[in-house]
Structure 1
Amino acid sequence: MTNPRALIPLMILILALDLGSGTTLGGRRRRGGGLLSPPRRPEGTELPEDQWFLQKLNHFDPTDGRTWKQRYFTNASFYRPGGPVFLMIGGEGPANPVWLVEGSWIEYAKRLNAYLFQLEHRFYGKSHPTEDASVENLAYLSSEQALADLATFTVAMQEEHDLKENKWIAFGGSYPGSLAAWYRLKYPHLVHGSVATSAPVVAQINFKEYLEVVRDALATVNEKCDEAVKEATRQLNMLLLHRVGWQSITKRFKLCSPLDGQNKKDVANLFSILTENLEDVVQYNRDNRDFEGVKGTNITIDTLCDIMLDESRGPAVTRYAAINSLVLEIHEEECLDHTYDSMIKELRATNWENNTDIGGRSWIYQTCTEFGFYQSSDSLNQPFGNEFPVSFFIQQCQDIYGEKFNLDLLKEGVKRTNTLYGGKDLKVTRVVFPNGSIDPWHALGITDNLSPEATAIFINGTAHCANMYPEATDDPPQLLHAREQVFNHIQKWLQE
């Protein structure tokens, strides 16, 4: 199975996100910040069925009358007349109806008698606005079009369900968290307040701070963990110096084909994949639903550091390989396809049917045109080496979509995004920004209050979108408190 794990980071969630599945770009690669599915649903609970909304293709050309069907879900079981309407925004993956019966917002809905909607993001899941995902058609994929989708959908649902006088609250985590904040910014007459969880509101090409937060998270377990990873990287680089070393890497890391140490793109891709083995665990630490099920336990930061510090396993590079083997086992993969060309080949596929990585193609397009978010190795303050600089990700844009998708185009796109929305200088009211301290995405988010009406909740020791998941018995007190803070904000907004 091809494994395009060097995919340009997404980012990579109102509840937006890839709400539901998380963005599993090409097998197990997840270069963005999507929200994973809740781990369970109440026994015997029926999930809402797919519903379809006739949506405009291009909201910004009044002469373009083309339409398409956008998927959404509803749950009115908690609703009482006069209650609020909660809107969960879909992100860079399929919308999952399990969120209509699980998650912290369900508890809020029960307490506040809310009507629930979830809208899938265009070009993800089953929401296909065009016949394929060609470059020509991807021109209709942008955060601006997604926000206009939300606005059009909101107005239609207000009319269809007699909800014009109700107050709408948007929820989102990760990229959809950004959309939740931006929806309140751009369409304040439609959405009364927003919960923007783990939202990277700043577009930034070189997101080198990401790996710095990963380093800090490893150090919270044991300062020697970071040093062990750094030593593993050093040993990997030594093995790259000769053909015998290439053979050793191929065997240790269970590569599907022999490593060519002179192929710089393959080497960069391999280093990026091995780094992501740790990135994913840190980002979703103790919420890591994608890593659930191996021998009845989850991989956590503690698991990683236990392996990296266990000298009985052999040298550091062998321990690093053991983590890779564990991830392969979890995802039921016999080997790791590290080759750059196979990754690019998958991401060039434009058909919707039987394409496991079409969401990856869509998301990477957004990173190449709007956001950047590239989790490069350019920082000197991280233990993963310097084999995948930001230029490696820019090259992917060109190799997937064409030569015009270069650095200059991306610079203009990132500048435009920050001009449209304001970056960290958002001028919004009735928005709350929860972030976890060990979530690397908090580096591009709001972690200090913008104003009395745009406040931050910084949750020590928690990871990406942690406050959105259902309550667990081992949740730390600060996470429980954060969920209650979010509820208090919503309750206050509904009185305004």
Structure 2
Amino acid sequence: MKLNILLPVLAAVGLTSAQRPTSYPPHYFDQPIDHFPHSARYAPHTKDTFKQRFFFDSTYYKPGGPVFLYLSGETSGESRFSNLETGTIADNAYFAQRVSFPGINVDVSAPGTPWILYGGSLAGAQTAFSVKTYPHILYGGIASSATTKALLEYPQWYDPIQRLGPSDCIASINAIVDNFDALVATKNEKAIQEFKAIFGLESLSDIRDFAATIAFPLGGPMNYPTNTWQELNWYPAYTTDDFFNFCSNVTNIFAPESITSVDYALAKYTNGEPWTNLGNYANYFKNVLLPLCDGVEINSSACFSTQNATNWAIPANDGSRSYLYSTCTEQGAYQVAPITGPSLISTVLKVDYTQDWCNWAFPPGKYNKIPHTPDLSRYNVYGGWDVTANRLAHIDGATDVWLDLCYHSHLAPPRYSSDLHPEYLIAGGGHHWDSYGILDINAEPQFIQQAHLWEIRTVQKWLKSFNATGGKF
């Protein structure tokens, strides 16, 4: 019997559809801003607090039961409610030791009560770092697709798409990008303008903005106006067809001549060879992406230009600003083209493109100064690919675009599971796919059912050990 929290949030599982809550009222907890008053890194220091929001559900709670803390990460608590209805750093420790819940008249604070954390993606990394840093307070955690490794450049984001996407679609994009890069390498400005005009982007002045914009269907650096490979999911209600619709349009062999003839528009620059499926690619872009600007100037921050430094400096201009800050200061993972081999994005997309946004968004101030490039050591100090702690479980998806920043990265050593250090790689799984569930459990695909059952068994073993040892960590 458990008390579930999501931090912001707490939730229950196993109810019938009629009993199951679909919304949770917010509660607030006074959280110190400064947990490290003796660290020069956080000077000048303050004793002020902020109102940390959380949600909770005590439907199944019984005295002596564990507390499950679900971290919402870079998104809002409300956006995780669907996961709570169907699903299985210092702030976390302070919260676990001091929080109380309305209607719960017993002490559920850690370490007397076993607190089990769960988080996916950045919240997965937060879960891993918290359990490692506060093992005497937080009893265990499941880190799902936890991006625990900081790298400055992250071309591997595109690897699953390159490897597993429809091969004719991927080959066409590779060839078009390669031809474009050849024009850039030879500084053929006339040809580059012709290429931009085919997409309706001739007025977009910065060549990097152009390269990023036409990559939107695949996942342009930091920006995805349409859904990409990352948003694919195992359940129809959670997934999106955008990526496969894009590829189906790019490879349409029945397109009219007015579209297919565009494949030859730049053939004079490639020894008469057509740019296969360029017409389809540009036609998809002009029908799906170009209308997003809704008639505003293309070469502006209201459309596809990212080069307005003043606009970046406005604190209220973007809901993803906090994510960008963590990227700029410690995590990195700038999406860039690979140094060698086929690429889905142009080689003009380098570190400096994203770093400019960082510098413009966070200029030096009284309390803040970001590093010249992300200080990766601040993030990797926890162990990077090899972050481990007793009762810290890692679960990843084999087709996740973020996999190579996670425990099961292709760049990490082979992994072996044990009860104290469990690990699970979901074959065919995407980005924290285990965090999603449906009410009809038997209708889940076997590979998702088994992942959920593994997580349940793992936590049950931990709780059995906690009870057997009288709460000894």
TM-score category by the smaller chain?
Answer: 0.7 to 0.9
Give the whole-Å Cα distance in 2 for the aligned partners of 1:312 and 1:54. Answer: 62
Q: What is aligned with 1:460? A: 427
SS of match in other structure, 2:141? strand
Does residue 259 of structure 1 match 2:235? no
Q: What is aligned with 2:31? A: 55
Q: Does structure 2 retain, via aligned residues, the 8 Å contact 1:230–1:383?
A: yes
The C-alpha deviation readout for 1:370-402, integer Å capped at 9, x for no partner, is 110111113423332312012222232223223
Counterparts in 2 of 1:182-197, with a 5 A limit?
182-197=129-144
Q: What is aligned with 1:422? A: 383
Aligned residue among 171, 174, 180 for 1:227: 171
Decide whether aligned partners of structure 1 residues 429 and 72 sit closer, same or farther in structure 2, where only a CA change above 3 A counts: same
1:271 Cα deviation (Å)? 4.7
1:163 Cα deviation (Å)? 0.7
Unaligned ranges ≥5, structure 1: 1-13, 20-40, 109-146, 293-297
Does residue 177 of structure 1 match 2:121? no
Give the whole-Å Cα distance in 2 for the aligned partners of 1:64 and 1:242. Answer: 54
Give the whole-Å Cα distance in 1 for the aligned partners of 2:435 and 2:287. Answer: 27
Counterpart code for 2:358: C
Q: What is aligned with 2:360? A: 399
Q: Does structure 1 retain, via aligned residues, the 8 Å contact 2:83–2:435?
A: no
Give the whole-Å Cα distance in 2 for the aligned partners of 1:380 and 1:196. Answer: 32
Q: Does structure 2 retain, via aligned residues, the 8 Å contact 1:198–1:433?
A: yes
Q: What is aligned with 1:32? A: none
Give the whole-Å Cα distance in 2 for the aligned partners of 1:474 and 1:225. Answer: 32
Counterpart code for 1:56: P
Please report the RMSD computed on the Cα atoms of aligned residues, expressed in angstroms: 3.7
Q: What is aligned with 1:69? A: 51
Identical residues among aligned pairs (%):
22
SS of match in other structure, 2:228? helix
Counterparts in 2 of 1:83-482, with a 5 A limit?
83-96=65-78, 99=81, 102-105=84-87, 108=88, 147-157=89-99, 161=104, 162-164=107-109, 165-218=112-165, 222-234=166-178, 236=180, 241-242=188-189, 246=193, 249-250=196-197, 252=199, 255=201, 258-260=203-205, 263-271=206-214, 273=216, 275-276=218-219, 280-286=227-233, 298-299=240-241, 301-313=243-255, 314=260, 315=263, 316-324=277-285, 328=289, 337-342=303-308, 344-351=309-316, 355=317, 357=318, 359-381=319-341, 382-402=343-363, 409-410=372-373, 413-419=375-381, 421-447=382-408, 448-449=414-415, 452=418, 453-471=420-438, 475-482=444-451
Total equivalences in the alignment: 402
Give the whole-Å Cα distance in 2 for the aligned partners of 1:187 and 1:76. Answer: 25
Unaligned ranges ≥5, structure 2: 10-15, 39-44, 264-276, 409-413, 466-473
Give the whole-Å Cα distance in 2 for the aligned partners of 1:97 and 1:226. Answer: 32
SS of match in other structure, 1:102? helix
1:479 Cα deviation (Å)? 1.9
1:232 Cα deviation (Å)? 3.2
Counterpart code for 2:141: S
The C-alpha deviation readout for 1:288-314, integer Å capped at 9, x for no partner, is 99996xxxxx31654343222223333
Q: Does structure 2 retain, via aligned residues, the 8 Å contact 1:435–1:465?
A: yes
TM-score by length of 1: 0.71
The C-alpha deviation readout for 1:119-156, integer Å capped at 9, x for no partner, is xxxxxxxxxxxxxxxxxxxxxxxxxxxx1111111112
Give the whole-Å Cα distance in 1 for the aligned partners of 2:235 and 2:355. Answer: 29
Give the whole-Å Cα distance in 1 for the aligned partners of 2:287 and 2:462. Answer: 46
Decide whether aligned partners of structure 1 residues 410 and 249 sit closer, same or farther in structure 2, where only a CA change above 3 A counts: closer
Give the whole-Å Cα distance in 2 for the aligned partners of 1:305 and 1:15. Answer: 40
SS of match in other structure, 2:53? strand
Give the whole-Å Cα distance in 2 for the aligned partners of 1:157 and 1:208. Answer: 42
Aligned residue among 454, 467, 470 for 1:485: 454
Give the whole-Å Cα distance in 1 for the aligned partners of 2:5 and 2:416. Answer: 21
Give the whole-Å Cα distance in 2 for the aligned partners of 1:101 and 1:213. Answer: 25
Counterpart code for 2:399: I
Give the whole-Å Cα distance in 2 for the aligned partners of 1:18 and 1:78. Answer: 19
The C-alpha deviation readout for 1:300-334, integer Å capped at 9, x for no partner, is 65434322222333342233235445654997966
